[in-house]
Structure 1
Amino acid sequence: MRAAGGRAVVVGSRDPDRARAWAADHQVEATADYAGALDRPDVDAVYIALPNDQHVEWAAAAAATGRPVICEKPLGLDATQVDALLAGIPAGAPLWESFAFPFHPQTELLRRLVDDGTLGEVREIVSEFHFDVRTPTNIRLDPALGGGALYDVGCYPVRLARLLFGSEVDTAAARSRSADSGVDIETAAVADFTSGQRLILSAGMRRPASTATRIIGSHAELRVGNPFHPTPTDTVELWRDGALRQTWSADPAPAFQWMIEHAQQVVRGGDARITAAETSGGNARALDLIRAAAAR
C-alpha cells in the first residue's frame, strides 16, 4: 500500500492490545474495533483480511459505506453466500475479491499471448499452488473458520483459468486428502469449461511452496513460474517444439501494488473494473463443483 502512495490509517481488531502491538510494528496510525474502523471519516478504502467465515458479513458492512473494498478470497464459502452478498450491495459497488494478479502487467502479457495466437488454440492450463502449513493452530486448518486448501489456494488456478479462457467451469472431477481437523489439506481436480478447454489443478498446504503453471496451446506453451504473486525473479517462458524461444521477467513492483493503485484511482473518481460483481460468482460456483466432486 505504501508503495502505491497510500497511508495505513487504522487497523480494526477484536483485541485492543493486539491491535496496538500490530499497529506499532507496522506503523499504522490508529486502532479500533471492526465497526469503529469503518466509521472513521478519514478512511478512503478498506481491506478485509479476516478468516474466511467472516468475509461476507464484513464485506457487506464495508461496501455499505460506499468506499472501495478489497476482501480476501474466497469472498464467500459457497456460491449461495456470494450471490446473496452481491445482491445486497449497490450495483457497481467497488468491491473486489483479493486476487491481485488480474491487475498485474504479467497477466496482461499472458492475455496478449493467449489472445494473439502465439500459442495456437489454447487447450489446457496445468496449475498448482502449494505451500507448507506447519502450525496446528493455523486458521487455515480450522473448519469452523472456513479453512482448507481449496478455499485458500485452489481458488487461484480457477480464477486464472476463467480469466484466460473467458469461460466458466461446467463439470469437475476431484480428489481431496483431509487434515486431522477435517479440512482438505490437498485437493487435485480436473475442471472442464463450457468452451471445451480444461484446467488441471493441484492445491495443498503440506509441501514446499510452488505456483508452477503451464498454459498449453496447439503450437506452443507458456511456462509461468508465479502467475499469482510475481516477484522480480519470476519469469514467463515461451516454449515451442521442445525449445525455449523467449523469456520475460516480472515487473519489480510489489504484486499487490497494481490492485491497490486501481482502488486509489476509484477513490479519485475513476471507474471500477474487474469487480466482484463481474468475477466472484463464477469462481464460487467452480469451487462448489470441485468440492462436490471431491466429496463424491
Structure 2
Amino acid sequence: MVEVSAGVGPVVGWGILGTANIAARAFLPALRGAGGRAVVVGSRSDVRGAEWAAQHQVERSSSYDAVLGDPEVQAVYLALPNDQHTQWAAAALAAGKVVLCEKPMALDGAQAQRLLAAVPVGGLLWESFVFPFHPQTALISGLIADGRIGDLSEIISEFHFQVGSSANIRLDVARGGGALYDVGCYPLRLGRLLFGAEPVRASGNAVFDGVDRDMAAVVDFPVGRLILSAGLHRPASTFTRIIGTAGELRVSNPFHPRGFDTVELWADGVQEDSWPAAAGSAFQHAITHIQSVITGSVAPQHLATGDALAQALAMDLVRASITDRLSS
C-alpha cells in the first residue's frame, strides 16, 4: 500500500536488495531527494544488514525474501552482484513489486530474454541506466533533433575510474565483473539512444587481468559509429564528444551529471554555446519518474521490457568481437 503524508501526497515505500556502495552513495540520497521512503534493506547477513540500515537511515533490515514479502514495499532497488540480477529481479516481479535493477540487468541476451519472458502482465521493470531521465539527456537529444550539429555521425565516449581494492567484486569474473559490464555498457546505451538504432558490427579489444580491466571498441550503427573506451584502472572520466556534419557537442558527463558538468556546442573550432547540468542527480530524476508511474501520475518511459534485450544483445556483439580477436 502506498503511504500518504499530509500535505505531501503518496509516498512510495522502497526495499533494497543488497548493501553495495552504489545503494548508499547514489540510490539512497536520490530516493530522499525524490521524497521516497527507505523501508527495508535485504542482506544475507543479519549483522551486516542491521549495521547498514542503521548507518544509512533505512528503517529496518531483513532477508531478501522478507523484503519481497513486505506489504509496505511497493518498489525494489536491486543492488546485488551482476550474476544475481535476473534471479532476484524475477523474484521481485513475481512478488508484485516494481523493480529498478542495477545494470547490467543480464549477463547476456539469453538471460535477458528469459527474464523478460517472465515479466507478468502489467509488471514494471527498469534497468538502472538512469541518465535517460536526466534533463541533460533531453537537452542533448533536442540539440541533435534541431540540427544544431548537422547530421549525427559519430560518438566518442569513455567511462573510466579506478577500482581501489583487489577484493572489489568488479574484478571477480564469476560475479560478472569487468570493464564492459560495469562501465562500457554506458557509452553503448548512449549510442543506442542517440542513434535511435541498434548496432550492426563491432570491433573490440581488451586487456585482461582476471577480467577485462580495460577495453575499447568501434561499434557501427546504420547511420554512424560509436567509439567507446572503458576501464577500471585510471582516473575517472566520462568525457564524450557527439559529432555531426556541422558541429559537435562536448559533454563532460553524460551519465551522472553534477552541477559543475556542462554540454558545450562547438563548430569550426569555436565554442558557440554552453549549458550547465540541471539540478538533481540522474538517479533522483529516475526515481521521481518511477514513483510517479506507481502513483498513476505519468505513463512509464524507458522500461526494460522495451529496451533491455536489445541492450544485452548489443553487449553480446561487443563482447564477441573482443573474444574473436583474442582467439584469432
Other-structure match for 2:15: none
Secondary structure of the structure 2 residue equivalent to 1:256: helix
1:67 Cα shift? 2.3
Other-structure match for 1:156: 186
Residues 72-91 of structure 1: matches in 2 within 5 Å?
72-91=102-121
Other-structure match for 2:211: 183
Amino acid in the other structure paired with 2:151: E
Amino acid in the other structure paired with 1:186: D
Q: 2:146 aligns with which of 113, 116, 126?
A: 116
CA RMSD of the aligned region, Å? 0.9
Consecutive unaligned residues of structure 1, counting only runs of 5 or more, are: none
The question of 1:173 aligning with 2:203 is answered: yes
Secondary structure of the structure 2 residue equivalent to 1:41: coil
Structure number with greater CO (CA < 8 Å, separation at least 6) is 1
1:271 Cα shift? 2.2
The question of 1:216 aligning with 2:243 is answered: yes
CA–CA separation in structure 2 for the residues paired with 1:168 and 1:254:
27
Q: 1:281 aligns with which of 300, 304, 309?
A: 309
Is the contact made by 2:195 and 2:223 (CA closer than 8 Å) also made in structure 1?
Answer: no
CA–CA separation in structure 1 for the residues paired with 2:234 and 2:153:
28
Other-structure match for 2:70: 40
1:252 Cα shift? 2.2
CA–CA separation in structure 2 for the residues paired with 1:163 and 1:74:
16
CA–CA separation in structure 2 for the residues paired with 1:136 and 1:211:
23
> What is the number of residues matched between the two proteins?
293
Q: Relative to structure 1, is the Cα distance of residues 271 and 189 closer, same or farther in structure 2, using a 3 angstrom cutoff? A: same
Secondary structure of the structure 1 residue equivalent to 2:90: helix
Amino acid in the other structure paired with 2:311: N
Other-structure match for 1:200: 227
Q: 1:260 aligns with which of 279, 283, 287?
A: 287
CA–CA separation in structure 2 for the residues paired with 1:255 and 1:79:
26
- Cα deviations across residues 141-189 of structure 1 (Å, max 9, x unaligned)? 001100000000000000001001100011100001011xx21001100
Secondary structure of the structure 1 residue equivalent to 2:309: helix
Secondary structure of the structure 2 residue equivalent to 1:8: strand
CA–CA separation in structure 1 for the residues paired with 2:156 and 2:107:
24
TM-score normalized by structure 2?
0.88
1:257 Cα shift? 0.5
Other-structure match for 2:263: 236
Is the contact made by 1:20 and 1:31 (CA closer than 8 Å) also made in structure 2?
Answer: yes
TM-score normalized by structure 1?
0.97
1:254 Cα shift? 2.3
1:7 Cα shift? 1.0
CA–CA separation in structure 1 for the residues paired with 2:201 and 2:291:
38
1:64 Cα shift? 1.6
CA–CA separation in structure 2 for the residues paired with 1:67 and 1:54:
17
1:110 Cα shift? 0.6
Structure 1 residue runs of 4+, over 4 Å off? none
Is the contact made by 1:92 and 1:277 (CA closer than 8 Å) also made in structure 2?
Answer: no
Consecutive unaligned residues of structure 2, counting only runs of 5 or more, are: 1-30
- Cα deviations across residues 201-236 of structure 1 (Å, max 9, x unaligned)? 000000000000000000010000000000000000
Is the contact made by 2:134 and 2:281 (CA closer than 8 Å) also made in structure 1?
Answer: no
Secondary structure of the structure 1 residue equivalent to 2:288: helix
Is the contact made by 1:11 and 1:28 (CA closer than 8 Å) also made in structure 2?
Answer: yes
**Identical counterparts, % of pairs:** 56
CA–CA separation in structure 1 for the residues paired with 2:42 and 2:115:
21
Q: 2:88 aligns with which of 58, 65, 70?
A: 58
Secondary structure of the structure 2 residue equivalent to 1:231: coil
Q: Which piece of structure 1 moves more, 84-93 or 151-160?
A: 84-93
Is the contact made by 2:133 and 2:282 (CA closer than 8 Å) also made in structure 1?
Answer: no
- Cα deviations across residues 40-87 of structure 1 (Å, max 9, x unaligned)? 000011100000000000011111223221000000000000011001
CA–CA separation in structure 2 for the residues paired with 1:99 and 1:92:
21
